[in-house]
A = this chain, B = another copy of it.
Amino acid sequence: MGMVEVAKRARTASLRLANIKCEDKDRAILTIAEEIDRERSRIIEVNNKDVEDSLRKGVAPPLIKRLRLDNSKIDEMVRGLRSLARLEDPVGRTTLCMEMDEGLELYKVTCPIGVIGAIFEARPDALVQISSLCLKSGNAVILKGGVEASRTNISLTDLIRDVLRRLGKIPEDSVQLVETREDVAELLKMDDYIDLLIPRGSTNLVKYIKENSKIPVLGHTEGICHEYVDEYADLEMAVNICYDAKVQYPAVCNAMETLLVHKNIAERFLPVMAEKYRQANVELRGDPKTRKILPEIKEATDEDWRAEYLDLILSIKVVDSIEEAIEHINLYGSHHTDGIITMSEENARRFLMEVDSAVVIHNASTRFSDGYRFGLGAEVGISTGKIHARGPVGLEGLVIYKYIVKGSGQVVSKYTGENAKPFTHRRLSKVWPV
C-alpha cells in the first residue's frame, strides 16, 4: 500500500474517531492491555529475534537495552495502558460557553487534532504508549518504528488492530504501521493528511524531520539545561541540586549541561562543588574566571556553551550578574529546562519570568522536568516549540478545540446596520452537549 493510501485511510479513520464514546476508547485500551498481558511470551519470543539480529549486526549495547522487551517492561506497558484508561476523556470538554444572544450560544469544546505521524527509534514499548495516547485522544496515528524492532513492531501493531477490529467500534486504520526509510520521506510530505508529527529519538532524527517537513513538529532537538547559582543561594542546597542535576542520570535531556555561578559566591561554592564532582568522575570545563578558582580544569570554548554532552561532562561559567546569567541561557540554551538556586524571591521571580524556557525551576533539580514527575500522566514527549504545547506534553497536547454554535434560526442581518440587535455576550456555565 502506498503512503498516500495509508494517509487517506488514517484521515478517514480520524473522522470517525472524533465521534467515539470514551467508554469505547477505554474498552479498547483495556483489551489491548489484556491481550499484551496474555500474549507476553509470544511477544517476547518475537522480540528475541529482533534482539538476536541486532546482536549479530553488532548494534551498541544501550540500543539493545532499549530494544529488548522482558516481563518487567511488559508489566510496565500493561500498567501504563490501565492507568491511561482511567484518565478523564480529553475530548468533548467545554472550556468556554458564551451566550451571544437569547437562544444563540457558543461553546468551545476540545476535539482530536486528526492524524498524528509518530516516528520513533528502537524502543517498541513507545509504539504501544503512543498508539494508546492517540486512541484515548481520538487521533489516528501512523507509526514508523526503528528497523531494529521491525518484527516486534509488526506484532504489536497487529495485536492492537486485531483488538480494534474485534471490538468493532473504532476503525482499525486508526493505528497503522509503516516500515521503510522511504516511507518516512513520503510521510513528511503528507501535509494535506497529517496534522502533527511527533518524533521520539536522537537529536539528529528530530532535526532531520523539522528540516524536511511542512507539517508541525512536536518535540525537542536538544536539552541544553542550566542551573544558575545566584549570589543569594544557600550553599548546601546549591551543591545538592547541582550534583543531582548533573550526576543522577546524565544521559537524559533534562540533565544540566552548563552551570552558571554568580561571582560573589563563586569562591565559596566552586571548590566544594568541584570536589563532589571529582568523586563522581565529572569532567569540568570552565571559563577564565572559573579557572582562576579551579586552575586544574580544562578551558571551556564557545562550543561548550552549545553542547548537549549527555555525559559526565559539565561546563561552568562565572557571571557578573543575574542579567548575564539570563542572557547566557536565552542565547545558548535550548529553551527546555533551566533553574535558579537562590533565597532571593525577587531574583527568583525575575529569572522565572525572563528565562524563555518551557520549564523554569526555582531551588530544585532540572531533573524534575518530566510529565510523570509533574503529575500530568503519560507523556508524548517534551516540546521546546512555542506553539500549541510546550514542556512535557501529555493527552492535552493531542487535542485542539472547535467552536460550536447552537442557534434557533438567527441571521446576521438582524445584528448589523442601523437598528442592529445587540449581542448579550454573557459567559454561561453550561457544557456541551446541552
Residues of chain B within 8 A of A368, CB atoms compared: 100, 104, 405, 407, 410, 412
- Pick the residue among B18, B249, B415 that contacts A354 (CB under 8 A): B18
**A244-B412, A412-B248 known; A407 vs B363 contact (CB < 8 Å):** yes
Contact A100–B373 (Cβ < 8 Å): yes
Q: Does A301 contact B (CB under 8 A)?
A: no
Which among A249, A367, A391, A400 has the greatest number of chain B C-beta atoms within 10 A?
A400
Q: Mark A380-420, 1 if CB is under 8 A from B, else 0.
A: 00000011101110000000111111111111110110000
- Pick the residue among B234, B353, B365 that contacts A18 (CB under 8 A): B353
Find residues 92-108 in chain A having any chain B CB closer than 8 Å to their own CB. 98, 100, 104, 106
Q: Does A362 contact B (CB under 8 A)?
A: yes
In the bound assembly, the distance between CA atoms of A211 and B244 in angstroms comes to: 45
Residues of chain B within 8 A of A244, CB atoms compared: 411-413
Residues of chain B within 8 A of A363, CB atoms compared: 406-410
Contact A15–B248 (Cβ < 8 Å): no
A213 to chain B, nearest CB (A): 9
Q: Does A202 contact B (CB under 8 A)?
A: no
In the bound assembly, the distance between CA atoms of A241 and B104 in angstroms comes to: 13
Contact B15–A412 (Cβ < 8 Å): no
Which B residue's beta carbon lies closest to that of A236? B409
Which B residue's beta carbon lies closest to that of A401? B390
Which among A111, A216, A375, A415 has the greatest number of chain B C-beta atoms within 10 A?
A375
**A244-B413, A409-B241 known; A386 vs B19 contact (CB < 8 Å):** no
Contact A350–B19 (Cβ < 8 Å): yes
Residues of chain B within 8 A of A364, CB atoms compared: 104, 405-411
- Pick the residue among B100, B210, B392, B403 that contacts A214 (CB under 8 A): B210
- Pick the residue among B15, B248, B353, B412 that contacts A356 (CB under 8 A): B15
